[in-house]
Amino acid sequence: MKTLKLSIICASIIGISACSNSTKTDETKELQTYVDSIQNVTLEYNNSYWQTIEDGYQLRVVKAEAAAKEEAQKKQLAESKEAYQALKVKYEAAIKANKEKLYSTRKQVLRDALFGEGKIGTDLNFTWINATNIRVAYENFVLAVEANKKVYSREDWDEVKVLYEALDTRKNEVEKNLSTKDNMKIAKEKIKFATINSIERPLSKVTENADAKK
């Protein structure tokens, strides 16, 4: 990690020169050294960190392409490009896998908050909800959404929507056994949710777009 950060710092401060006192730089060698330096470091699995690596590579590869005149330099340039592309494919796959793992965990935390720990898994089985407990399920769901509405991401709201629709489907299945009183209370909870959703869901997209532009 220190080697990578030092390499990036050198590129930022010195620009077109390598991290040395030499007045003449072998640009293809500098590119090779950079690619070698990121082969075995512990990488952080996020897009911003990868972008720093990519920027460092692009800075060097442009200079190396312009400087490669001899056959040996061209061969070295081609090898460095090939090595970097292999690393890029591997790294981007790792980013995707890590993101999916984190999101899967986050979705389960979300389900637990909305319905109770362990109540809803990846199969989205709602058969445990019946005419007796569905009113409480709606109340707890809306209460959790109200409490967390400001921290939900766009993806969180997408999951909330899926779960809410599944809860509504279950209500249709048990509705014939619902009391009028419970039906009316559920209707009030549905209005509460619709109000929160109509305001906070669009705001989460605006916030996400604004963060992406930073």
| Digit-coded pLDDT (tens) for 121-154 | 989 999 999 999 999 999 999 999 999 999 999 9
Residue 117 has pLDDT above 60, yes or no: yes
Instruction: Identify whether 71 is part of a domain.
Output: yes
**Of the candidates 111, 96, 101, the residue with the CA atom closest to the CA atom of residue 156:** 111
Instruction: Identify whether 117 is part of a domain.
Output: no
Per-residue model confidence (pLDDT) at position 10: 44
Q: Same domain for 81 and 25?
A: yes
Q: Same domain for 11 and 46?
A: yes
At 146-160, the pLDDT tens digits run: 999 999 999 999 999
Per-residue model confidence (pLDDT) at position 184: 97
At 202-212, the pLDDT tens digits run: 988 766 655 54
Q: Which of 32-41, 168-177, 192-201 has the lowest mean pLDDT?
A: 32-41
Instruction: Identify whether 114 is part of a domain.
Output: no
SS3 annotation, the chain: CHHHHHHHHHHHHHCCCCCCCCCCCCHHHHHHHHHHHCCCCCCCCCHHHHHHHHHHHHHHHHHHHHHCCCHHHHHHHHHHHHHHHHHHHHHHHHHHHHHHHHHHHHHHHHHHHHHCCCCCCCCCCCCCCCCCCHHHHHHHHHHHHHHHCCCCCHHHHHHHHHHHHHHHHHHHHHHHHCCHHHHHHHHHHHHHHHHHHHHHHHHHHHHHHHHHCC
**Residue at 142: amino acid letter:** V
Per-residue model confidence (pLDDT) at position 159: 94
Q: What is the mean pLDDT of residues 45-70?
A: 86
Provide φ and ψ at 117, rounded to 5°. -60, 125
Q: Same domain for 154 and 194?
A: yes
pTM of the model: 0.59
Domain end residue (candidates: 100, 135, 158): 100
Instruction: Identify whether 116 is part of a domain.
Output: no
Domain count, the chain: 2
Q: Same domain for 85 and 131?
A: no
Split at pLDDT 50, 70, 90, the class of 53 is: confident
Residue 104 has pLDDT above 70, yes or no: yes
Parent domain of 196: 123-212
Instruction: Identify whether 43 is part of a domain.
Output: yes
Per-residue model confidence (pLDDT) at position 14: 36
Q: Is the CA virtual torsion 148, 152, 156, 162 positive or negative? A: positive
Q: Which of 39-43, 79-83, 141-145, 167-171 has the lowest mean pLDDT?
A: 39-43
Q: Same domain for 16 and 96?
A: yes
